[in-house]
Amino acid sequence: MDKQIRLYLSMKLATETHNLNPDRLDDKQQAQLKHSVDRVYQLQQRIVNSDEAQSVLVSKTDIEQAYQTCISQCDSLQQFQALMSSQGLTEQGLKAALARELMCDKVLDEISDAVPELPREQALAYYQKHKIDFSRGRTWKLSQILITINPDFEENRPDNALKRINMVRKQCEHIDFGQLALEHSECPSALEDGLLGWCEEGKLHPEIVAELAELEQGALSQPIETEVGYHLVICHDAKPPYVAPFEEVLPFLQQRHLSRAKSFIQRQWMAQLTSQ
């Protein structure tokens, strides 16, 4: 089964690292992959042979669920079977590799299970010091049509760009904004009928922010000149500045503490295994 386990690790690591099957990698990538597979295989071997692993069980149900998850990642059972065949993997071999992987995951969960909860006062101190990380400025739900300024192209020279945006604004009186965005806008949002979605104050051009301060909801702006060109915007909705209260942030801080603490304990434990 060792060969099957290594084949599984090769396929998994090649997909995670290069988004390719192992047989599609060049010689340099193949050499790097072999080194990674050897390293992961040896680490897994140490974990499953550790004292902590002796009391950990992986059920047939666990293995079958993991196997079915692998199948679900393909478009069909036939595609999954073809992929297995192309990589030299058998059903028995894949299940053995999955069982080994599940065992390692369960052992790591076991050895890092006793992480103490983040003290509330420590979480509060962090929140107060980093409150800006849990806040946002004014936010608007916007659509836009953009005509860029580029002196290298006749139609995008400043005077022509201004004429074009004014022409489009006039057409907005009797033609749907989304249709005009698709036809004229030079922003990627044109493919979404001009919809930009929710935009935060600090990520918008200041000229647009200034216009939004006076623009009524649902109204079409006058052409707005920025460093990239001329914009027409529609504000669909707006949200005031917001600072998340501590009680809202606390679960996130606790979860992040738990994740980091578990990761640290697991790394320390694996380093100890490696040194032995």
Domains and CATH numbers, the chain: 2-111 (1.10.4030), 138-240 (3.10.50.40)
| Each residue's pLDDT tens digit, 187-239 | 999 999 999 999 999 899 999 999 998 999 999 999 999 999 999 999 999 99
Q: What is the mean pLDDT of residues 147-163?
A: 94
Q: Residue 146: in which H helix or E strand, if any?
A: strand 139-148
Q: What is the mean pLDDT of residues 73-90?
A: 94
Position 157, amino acid: R
CA distances in angstroms from 258 to 65, 116, 123, 198, 261, listed in the order given = 26, 8, 12, 31, 5
Angstrom distance (rounded) from CA 121 to CA 24: 53
Both structure tokens of 177: 């904004």
* Neighbour-count burial of 159, counting CB atoms closer than 10 A to its CB (0-12 exposed, 13-18 middle, 19+ buried): exposed
Q: Would the pLDDT of 124 be above 80? A: yes
Q: Phi/psi of residue 264, each to 5°?
A: -65, -45
| Three-class secondary structure of residue 226 per DSSP | coil
Are the C-beta atoms of residues 145 and 184 closer than 8 Å to each other?
yes
Q: Would the pLDDT of 276 be above 80? A: no
Q: Residue 231: in which H helix or E strand, if any?
A: strand 229-239
* Neighbour-count burial of 204, counting CB atoms closer than 10 A to its CB (0-12 exposed, 13-18 middle, 19+ buried): buried
DSSP type of residue 52: G
Angstrom distance (rounded) from CA 142 to CA 217: 10
pTM of the model: 0.67
Strands, E assignment, 154-228: 195-200, 224-225
Q: What is the mean pLDDT of residues 172-186?
A: 95
Angstrom distance (rounded) from CA 149 to CA 158: 6
Q: Provide the pLDDT confidence category of residue 23 given band limits of 50, 70 and 90.
A: confident
Are the C-beta atoms of residues 208 and 226 closer than 8 Å to each other?
yes
Q: Provide the pLDDT confidence category of residue 4 given band limits of 50, 70 and 90.
A: very high
Q: Are strands 242-243 and 135-136 parallel, antiparallel or unpaired?
A: antiparallel
Q: Which of 243, 241, 145 is nearest to 201 (CA)?
A: 241
